[in-house]
Structure 1
Amino acid sequence: MTPPILGSLSTFPTEILILILFPLDPRDLVLLSRTCRRMHDLVYEIGWPQYLASNPRPSQSLTSARRSWSPVKAVRYDTLTDRAWQRAEFVARPLSRTWAAKEQSTLAISPSRLIVAAGTVLYSYSFHASTAGQPIISWEGNISLNETHVRGRNITSIAFIEDGGQDQTLLVAYQEQLVERIILIPPAQGSDAPLSFSRTPLAAFPRGDYIESFSTNGSHVLSLSSNGTARLSLHNALDNCDPLSQIDLAERSWKSHLSVSSSTPYAAFGSTGKKPLTVHFISPDDGLSPTPSLVLHTEKSTPDSLSSSAVYGLSQAPLSSPWGASPQILASGWFDGKVRIYDIRCPSSHHSVLTGEDTSAPLLRPVLCLNDRWSTEPIYSVACGGGSGAHVAAGTARHSVVSFWDVRNPRGGWSVHAPGNDRSPVFSVLLEGSRLFGATEMRPFVYDFGPDATVDMFPSIAAGPRANREGLKHKPGVLSYRVSKYRHAGSGLGDEFN
C-alpha cells in the first residue's frame, strides 16, 4: 500500500513535481525513484538531466565519454568523483618518461586532445571513449617544430583556437619572437602513419619581445608579451598586423586572462611590480582600456603602500564558489606563495590608486586568500574546477608540488608531489571535474579522481634504460604511481591520509 503522503504527491501535476525535484540531491532522487512507477519515470526523464544541468562539471577530456553515458551514469560518476576529492584519493600517472632535457613546459586542452609543449616539441594525447564508455587518454604522437640553424626556438605559449570543432588548430609562440598557426593532421583511424602538421607564420611582436601568454575566449585572442605589450585580436585575423586594440603595460609580464562573455568584458594581466595584477575593461568601440580599470592587490595593501610582487597564474574561480559562477571572480597565483581570489564586480570605490596622468583605479583586496602554511614557494600556475566544481589547484615553483583547496572549506587544503618527486616547478596545470593535468620540467602527469579507473585508460609507460634514475615509484600490478601528499593543517611530513 502506498503511504498517503506519496499517494497524494504522485497526483500532483508534472509541473509541480519538476519543481519538487529541483533541489534534491542524488540520494533523494534515488529514493524517490523507488516509490512508484510515475516517480521512477519522472526522475529518469527529468530529475537526473535537471541535476546535471544544475551541477556542471566541465571536463574537456571526458567530452567523448560523457556523450555515451546516460544521465544517471553521469550523476553516478560525478558523485563518486566528489567523494574521492573529499578523501583526496586519486590515480597518479606520468604521461611519459622523462624528457631528454629539462624544459619549461606548458599545456593546452580541447575536447579532443591534450597538447604538451616542451622545448621545440608538441606532444599530443587524444581523448576518446572505450566501448564500455570509459574515458581514455591515448598517446597520439609528437611533432618537432625545430628548424635547422634557428636559435631560440623554445616554445613559450600555446593555445587552441576555433576551427569548427576539429580541435586541430593551435597558436604557438616562440622565444625568438615568432608566432605560428599550427594545424595538426592526425593519422586516419587504424593507420600507422605518424602525426603530422602544417604551419603558417603570423604577425610577430616587435624585435626583442616575445609572447609570454595566450588567452582565448570565443573568437577573441589575447596575446601578452614578456615586456608588457598586450594585443586583442580575432582568431581569424591574426595574420593582420593591426589588432583590434593594443596597450603597453610597461612591466615584465607573465600571464593573461581574457573574459569577453562576462557582463563587463575584461582582460586581467599578471606582471612584476607594485601593481602586479591589473584588470582592463574592454569596450566595443575602444577595445582594451589603456590604463587599469582595477588594481588587485594583497590583503593589507593601501594606495600609499603598494609592495612590489609578481603574479604568475590566473584563472576564473571555481563555478561552485560562495560568490557564484560569475566569470568576474578571478583566482590568481602570487610570488609569495598565496592564491588570492577577487570579486571584480564589487570594487572598493573609497580606495583608489593613481594609474596614469590624472587617472585612478579602484584598489581591490581579495575576498579569499589560500596558502599552504608549509610552503612559501611562488605559485607558478593556477586552475579551478575539481570535486563539486569548488576546488582550486596551484602548481608551485619547487619540488613538483600541486596544492589543492576547496573554497567551501579553505582550511582543509592539501598538497601532493608529482610522480617522480623531482625538484622541478609545476609550470602548468589544467583542472577538470575528475582530472588534473600538470607539467613539470621533466614530464607531464595526470591525477584522476574518477571511479572505476583501469590501466587501459592511460598511456602506457614503457620501461627504459633510465627508468631507475627517473624517480618514478611504481609496483607492478598497481594502477597508481606512488606520490607523497600532506595536509596543510597537519605536520607537513606526508602520509597523513592513512
Structure 2
Amino acid sequence: MLTLSSLPVDVVILIFESLGIREFVALSMTCHDMYTIVSEYGWSSYLRYNPRPANSLTKARNQWPPRVRARYDIITDSTWDHGEFIARPLSRIWNGKLQPILASSQTRLIVSAGSNLYSYAFGTDTSFTASPPIISEGALSLLNNPDRPRNITALSFIDDGDLDETLDVGFQDGALERIKLIPSKSEDGSPILSCIRSRIDPMPNGDFVESLSSESNIILALSSNGYARLSSNGSGSPNSEKSIHAPSSIIELNTRSWVSHLCLQASTPYAAFGTASTTPLNVHALTDGGQLSPQPLAILHTQKTAGLTPDNFPSSAVYGLSSGPLNAPWGSSPQIIVSGWFDGQVRCYDLRSSSRVSLASATDSTTQSGPAPLRPVLSLADRWSYEPIYSVSCGGGSAAHIAAGTARHSVVSFWDVRSPKKGWSVHAPGNDPSPVYSIILESSRFFGATQSRPFVYDFGPGVSLDTYPHMPQVRGVDNLKHKKGSNRATYHVLRYDHNSSGLCNEN
C-alpha cells in the first residue's frame, strides 16, 4: 500500500506547499517517520510560504529551529486575532514637545528626537521560549552648538555591507550628514554611543530634508519645498571626517512635500511622493539609467466622482506612505502603495489596476497633463476619529494588517485587510495629547513614537519584565499605569473597536 511517507522526499515537499498549519500538526502526529519528515522539511516549507518580516526578530529567528519559528508565528497570529498585546514605553518622557522619527535595521532600532539619537539593539533568546530582548545602547547628541537648536527632520539606515551601523540624517537647518554609530561600554558596563560624522551635499536652495528612504544602495531624499534627489551609496559607510559626493538625479515637484517611498522591486522601479497639493500623491518611474522621471507614471487620487479636470482636483495632503501587507486580497506585490491622508483616510492603491477617475474632456489638450488618476482599491477609516493620518506601516498578524498613527491623542488604528470593517484603535501608554509621528509594524511588534516618548506593542509570546529596558516611573510626570492584575510587564492603555459605540476598553 502506497503511503505518504513512502513517496520520494521531493514529491512530499511539493505536497507540503499546499498544506496549512493544521495539516502539518496532524501529519507530524501520525507516525515517527512523518514526524521526522515534517520536522526536516514541513516547517521550513510553511515558513517559506507564510513569511512574517520582523527586523527586531531576525537575529533570534536565525538561531531558532523552523518548528520554533512556526510556533512563534502561530501564537502571534492568534493574539492579533484576539487583540491581546503587551504595551510598554521604551524611555522616560522627553523634555519639551518633539517630533521623533523611527528607523530600524536587522540589528537595532533608532529613535531621533530633537537633536538626539537613541539606539536600541535587538538581542537573541537561547531558550527559544522567551521573547527576544531589546537593549538600550545609549543616546547620542548631534548638536553642534548648544545655543542653536538643530532638530532632526529625516532619518534612514543605508546599505553598509550588513553592518547596520550607518544612517543618513537630515536637519532642520538644511544640513545632511552620514552617521556611523559606534556602540561600546564603559568600565562599569554601562552603554556608550558615539559616532563618526560625514557631510553630505545639501539639497538645492538650502531646503531641509523632510523624508529619507533607502533600498539596496539607492537613497531617495525629499526636501520640504519639493526637491526629490535620487543618489547611489557607492562609497559605503564612512570611516573618516570627509564630504561625500555621489552622482544624483534631481526633479522638482514644486509643492510642499512631506513623505517619500522608494520601491526597486517592482517591474518598473518607482518613487512615490506625498505632498500638499491638488494631486497630493504621485508616482515617478526610475529610468534604466537610474534617473527619476520628471513626469509622473501615476497620479493616485481620492475621488470616485467622474467629470473631474486637472484644474478642479480637491486640494489635500499625504503624510504617510508604505508598501502593502504581504497577505492581502490583491496578493503580495510591490505594486501596492498604502497612504495616509489629511482627511483621516488610509487609502491603498494597486498600480496594476485599470480603475481610474474619468477626466472631463478638455477643448485644449494642454489642460490634460499626465495620466488619469488611479482610484484606490481599498479605503480605511476610524469612524470615531476625523484626525489626519501622520504615519502608516504594514505587517502584523498573518502579515495582513495596516497600522496608522493619527494626529491627536496618541491614537494608533489597526485594520486586517482580510476583514477591513473590523478595525480597532488604541492610545499609546501615557495617553499623550500628541500625534503618533512615526511607526514601524512588524509581525509581532509595533513601534511608535509620540511627542513625549517611543513605545511598543508586543503581540508575541514570552514577553517579560526583562524583554524591554527597565522603566523607572515618576509619579505625576510620566502618567503611566501598570495594567491591573498583570505581572507589571505591560502598562494600561485604552482601546476601542471602530464598529462599537466608541467607548474605550482597558487593555
Question: Is TM (by shorter chain) over 0.5?
Answer: yes
Q: Is 1:117–2:121 an aligned residue pair?
A: no
Distance 1:25 1:453 in 2: 27
Query: What secondary structure sits across from 2:373 in the alignment?
Result: strand
Query: What secondary structure sits across from 1:81 in the alignment?
Result: helix
Q: Is 1:388–2:395 an aligned residue pair?
A: no
Residue 102 of structure 1 deviates from its aligned partner by: 1.0
| Structure 1 pair 131–237 and aligned structure 2 pair: CA distance change class (3 A) | closer
Residue 373 (structure 2) aligns with: 363
CA contact (8 A) 1:92 1:446 kept: yes
Q: Is 1:130–2:125 an aligned residue pair?
A: yes
| Structure 1 pair 392–249 and aligned structure 2 pair: CA distance change class (3 A) | same
Residue 237 of structure 1 deviates from its aligned partner by: 5.7
Residue 75 (structure 2) aligns with: 80
Query: What secondary structure sits across from 1:411 in the alignment?
Result: helix
Residue 213 (structure 1) aligns with: 211
CA contact (8 A) 2:213 2:260 kept: yes
Equivalent runs, 1:34-73 vs 2, <5 Å:
34-73=29-68
Residue 11 (structure 1) aligns with: 6
- Deviation string for 1:154-207 (max 9, x for gaps)? 000110001111111011100000000111001159844611111111101133
Equivalent runs, 1:172-321 vs 2, <5 Å:
172-187=169-184, 191-192=189-190, 194-236=192-234, 243-285=247-289, 287-302=291-306, 303-304=308-309, 305-321=312-328
What is the one-letter code of the residue matched to 2:298?
L
Distance 2:276 2:313 in 1: 12
Residue 328 (structure 1) aligns with: 335
Query: What secondary structure sits across from 2:91 in the alignment?
Result: coil
The match for 2:439 among 416, 429, 433 is: 429
Query: What secondary structure sits across from 2:296 in the alignment?
Result: coil
Residue 360 of structure 1 deviates from its aligned partner by: 1.9
Identical counterparts, % of pairs? 51
Please identify, of 302-311 and 433-442, the stretch whose mean Cα deviation from structure 2 is larger. 302-311
Distance 1:350 1:313 in 2: 22
Distance 1:193 1:393 in 2: 32
What is the one-letter code of the residue matched to 1:48?
W
Higher strand share: 1
Distance 1:413 1:189 in 2: 46
Query: What secondary structure sits across from 1:287 in the alignment?
Result: coil
Superposed CA RMSD in Å reads: 2.1
Residue 145 (structure 1) aligns with: 142
What is the one-letter code of the residue matched to 1:33?
S
CA contact (8 A) 1:231 1:243 kept: no
Residue 482 (structure 2) aligns with: 474
TM-score (norm 2): 0.92
Residue 94 (structure 2) aligns with: 99
Query: What secondary structure sits across from 1:364 in the alignment?
Result: coil
Residue 465 (structure 2) aligns with: 455
- Deviation string for 1:86-120 (max 9, x for gaps)? 01100000001100111001100011110000000
Query: What secondary structure sits across from 1:361 in the alignment?
Result: coil
Distance 2:84 2:359 in 1: 45
Distance 1:436 1:462 in 2: 22
What is the one-letter code of the residue matched to 2:462?
D
Distance 2:191 2:455 in 1: 26
CA contact (8 A) 1:490 1:496 kept: no
Residue 168 (structure 1) aligns with: 165
CA contact (8 A) 2:108 2:120 kept: yes
| Structure 1 pair 350–155 and aligned structure 2 pair: CA distance change class (3 A) | closer
Distance 1:275 1:84 in 2: 39
What is the one-letter code of the residue matched to 1:280?
H
Residue 285 of structure 1 deviates from its aligned partner by: 2.6
CA contact (8 A) 1:159 1:216 kept: yes
Query: What secondary structure sits across from 2:155 in the alignment?
Result: strand
Residue 90 (structure 1) aligns with: 85
What is the one-letter code of the residue matched to 1:168?
E
Distance 2:366 2:261 in 1: 22
Distance 2:248 2:451 in 1: 35
| Structure 1 pair 349–27 and aligned structure 2 pair: CA distance change class (3 A) | closer
Q: Number of matched residues? A: 490
Residue 428 (structure 2) aligns with: 418
In structure 1, the gaps of 5 or more residues are: none
Residue 19 of structure 1 deviates from its aligned partner by: 2.2
